[in-house]
Amino acid sequence: MKMFLLFSHKLTPEQIKEAKENLGIEEFIYLPKELQEKFSNIPPEIDDIKEYSKIFIDFLEKNASNEDYVLIQGDFGVVFWVVEYCRKNNLRAIYATTKRFVKEKNIDGKVVKISEFKHIIFRFYFMDRV
């Protein structure tokens, strides 16, 4: 089983562990460098986000197989269109949930908040593919 990764950072060790143990993932597929750059830097002035999303959908169409997982987090419009593609093509669209821990420190007389995020679970975008 494969997990395609459409998001802007690398998986954490906790995410890798959960994916392998709970989802049966054997292979993690990151976007090629050029697509990753486009995914991580989606121009905010684009009007037709559905059209822009096609480059990521084309990648999945060429590489993903029935029942593979697609971890997708990012620009809301791109997420919507890729999740919709996954729903229609029997791919399991998921996202990662986290818990935030906030610490306050006094640094040079200023209060600085530091946020730490801990992975909790992967959650399905739609339940009919669980």
Q: Give the pTM.
A: 0.86
Beta-carbon contacts of 121 under 8 Å, excluding residues fewer than 6 positions away, are 18, 96, 97
126 close to 80: Cβ distance less than 8 angstroms: no
Determine whether 130 is exposed, middle or buried from the number of CB atoms within 10 Å of its CB (0-12, 13-18, 19+).
exposed
Beta-carbon contacts of 109 under 8 Å, excluding residues fewer than 6 positions away, are none
pLDDT value for 50: 96
As a whole number, mean pLDDT of residues 97-113 equals 89
As a whole number, mean pLDDT of residues 66-92 equals 96
Domains of the chain listed by start with CATH number? 2-96 (3.40.50)
